[in-house]
A and B are shown apart, each in its own frame.
Chain A
């Protein structure tokens, strides 16, 4: 089981002090947060990609490449990479380059993006979101897997004798997750290829995402990648912790009440009741996160949203200490104990390389090989 954090990279006013970080402060804070994530023993740091204010991470591989140089163990990922508006050729090249620099500590999560104007800014049409995701991703896969590609599609200029450079590290493309909030087509896409499926279920109720993940698992089995319970599932979560539950609620409430996504709507209590948000003690976070397994089955990756809504960097780093010291070790042990032997871990570069070259000895655990 992998545990990590994902960040949207929003520049938001701290409602308690009315201060807004500069873009430079926010970008550097994201790097500090990624380094801290590795320090406290997390497995994954994932950055969003946005091309509109108030978000700063428009250039994820620049940031992840920099973080790669300052870390040694943590997997660098995205949440999400815009498969609709980015040129798949550029995605293929950027992330293969990052793979080499990060010694394989790279995977990606594909997403469509739901901000209407971003599409025309990149010459695309949001109404073509699903066809763009389908065609672009199919081309991306070929660019990583075939040395020379001839290709023609609906959405970009044709390719004749094209080789995407550099080639993926060790000839092993990065593992890909597909993120979706509501589209069964994307669950179907992830299942078809045997890729991972990530349900960012932080803002919506659980039952909605159960249907998406059930569909993905069922179709993963249909397409012959393994049994439904062996499909590769990731989930989002959102927590705020203090040692004492009431301290967490009192401190987080102004951030909740003014948050760009849900502020001025439901109360903190209603939102924690209906969504994965947990505001309380580390033990409450542990208890709630374990219920995800009961609802979605054994899964492979849990990412938490920690730095948003104007929370100051100092607070976020304290949260990461609590997450790394008190929450994740317990969750890791519990999930490992509960997971049946035939359910795989999330793929890593080393594991995929070993599987591809057949060097994996009989019975060797893929995750151990990865380490």
Chain B
């Protein structure tokens, strides 16, 4: 068994929230799938609501409070990220975007990401494809092919298209990416600076 660390980021606002409920279902399914591949996964869940003020402060001052910095650093080290947002006015919530604006542009490069969202009706489901997926494309993450949208009605419907089936399909795809990922230790520019001769040569 090898260890895998999955960070769940959820931007739900109410307590309890359906966004958190979806995030927990996805995480549990991913852990199961990883276990079947022979990986022992740990899950850390970040409720963005807990960091809402720190995120606003960071947007204004340019630096993160110690608590927020810990979360931002933690996501950069994750083997995989499950990112779940409510859909507001045709896109991810502002809180969700503000958090990923606080992440360095290269922090999630090559990181497997499972994207998911909640909304009142299924008419909002393509926001995952036109808003959330491009965000992680910009961050050069590897986004699982299946994105999971849960409308209010999904919590009470069955059949082949039922939510649980989609959750497991997405989690299996995500787990395959997380399980097969090999990570090179990133170069730390403070511990291992570019020698000045190289900077001078203009390369």
Complex Cα distance, B33 from A38, in Å, reads 70
| B158 contacts the other chain (CB 8 A) | no
Bitwise, B167-203 to A at CB < 8 A (1) or not (0) is: 0000000000000000000000110011110011010
| B89 contacts the other chain (CB 8 A) | no
Q: Interface of chain A, helix or strand or loop or mixed?
A: helix
| B61 contacts the other chain (CB 8 A) | yes
Complex Cα distance, B201 from A135, in Å, reads 9
| B63 contacts the other chain (CB 8 A) | yes
| B121 contacts the other chain (CB 8 A) | no
| A143 contacts the other chain (CB 8 A) | no
Closest residue on chain B to residue A204 by CB atoms: B63
Is A205 a contact of B193 with CB atoms below 8 Å? no
| A187 contacts the other chain (CB 8 A) | yes
Is A130 a contact of B199 with CB atoms below 8 Å? yes
Is A134 a contact of B65 with CB atoms below 8 Å? no
| B57 contacts the other chain (CB 8 A) | yes
The one of A130, A135, A185, A208 in contact with B193, judged by C-beta atoms closer than 8 angstroms, is A185
Is B193 a contact of A215 with CB atoms below 8 Å? yes
Q: B residues within 8 A CB of A204?
A: 61-63
Is A203 a contact of B199 with CB atoms below 8 Å? no
Q: B residues within 8 A CB of A261?
A: 61
Q: Which of A46-54, A263-271, A348-356 contacts B (4 or more CB under 8 A)?
A: A263-271
Is B57 a contact of A188 with CB atoms below 8 Å? no
Bitwise, B62-96 to A at CB < 8 A (1) or not (0) is: 11011000000000000000000000000000000
| A75 contacts the other chain (CB 8 A) | no
> Beyond A135-B202, A138-B200, A188-B194, is A266–B61 a contact (Cβ under 8 Å)?
yes
Nearest Cβ distance between residue A271 and chain B, in whole angstroms?
8
Nearest Cβ distance between residue A319 and chain B, in whole angstroms?
23
Is B196 a contact of A189 with CB atoms below 8 Å? yes
Q: B residues within 8 A CB of A263?
A: 60
Nearest Cβ distance between residue A88 and chain B, in whole angstroms?
15
> Beyond A184-B189, A215-B190, A266-B57, is A274–B66 a contact (Cβ under 8 Å)?
yes
Is B195 a contact of A265 with CB atoms below 8 Å? no
Q: A residues within 8 A CB of B195?
A: 188
Q: B residues within 8 A CB of A188?
A: 193-196, 199
Closest residue on chain A to residue B65 by CB atoms: A274
Bitwise, B41-66 to A at CB < 8 A (1) or not (0) is: 00000000000000011011111011
Bitwise, A120-136 to B at CB < 8 A (1) or not (0) is: 00000000001100110
Q: How many residues of B contact A (CB 8 A)?
A: 18
| A112 contacts the other chain (CB 8 A) | no
- Chain A residues 289-311 with CB under 8 Å of chain B are none
Complex Cα distance, B193 from A154, in Å, reads 23
Complex Cα distance, B60 from A212, in Å, reads 23
Bitwise, A7-47 to B at CB < 8 A (1) or not (0) is: 00000000000000000000000000000000000000000
Q: B residues within 8 A CB of A191?
A: 196
Is B63 a contact of A185 with CB atoms below 8 Å? no
> Beyond A134-B200, A138-B200, is A185–B66 a contact (Cβ under 8 Å)?
no
Complex Cα distance, B128 from A225, in Å, reads 55
| A192 contacts the other chain (CB 8 A) | yes
Is A262 a contact of B190 with CB atoms below 8 Å? no
Q: B residues within 8 A CB of A135?
A: 202
- Chain B residues 10-62 with CB under 8 Å of chain A are 56-57, 59-62
| A105 contacts the other chain (CB 8 A) | no
Q: A residues within 8 A CB of B189?
A: 184-185
Q: A residues within 8 A CB of B202?
A: 131, 134-135, 154
Is A187 a contact of B60 with CB atoms below 8 Å? no
**Residue with the highest number of chain A CB atoms closer than 10 Å, among B65, B66, B196:** B196
Closest residue on chain A to residue B53 by CB atoms: A266
Complex Cα distance, B66 from A204, in Å, reads 11
Complex Cα distance, B189 from A203, in Å, reads 22
Nearest Cβ distance between residue B195 and chain A, in whole angstroms?
7
| A244 contacts the other chain (CB 8 A) | no
Kindly list 18 other residue pairs between chains A and B, CB separation below 8 angstroms, not including A131-B202, A185-B189, A185-B194. A184-B189, A188-B193, A191-B196, A192-B196, A204-B61, A205-B63, A205-B66, A212-B190, A214-B190, A215-B193, A219-B193, A262-B61, A265-B56, A265-B60, A265-B61, A266-B60, A271-B61, A274-B63
A-B contact pairs, 19 of them (CB 8 A): A184-B189, A184-B194, A185-B189, A185-B199, A187-B193, A188-B196, A188-B199, A189-B196, A189-B199, A192-B196, A211-B190, A214-B190, A215-B190, A215-B193, A261-B61, A263-B60, A264-B60, A265-B56, A270-B57
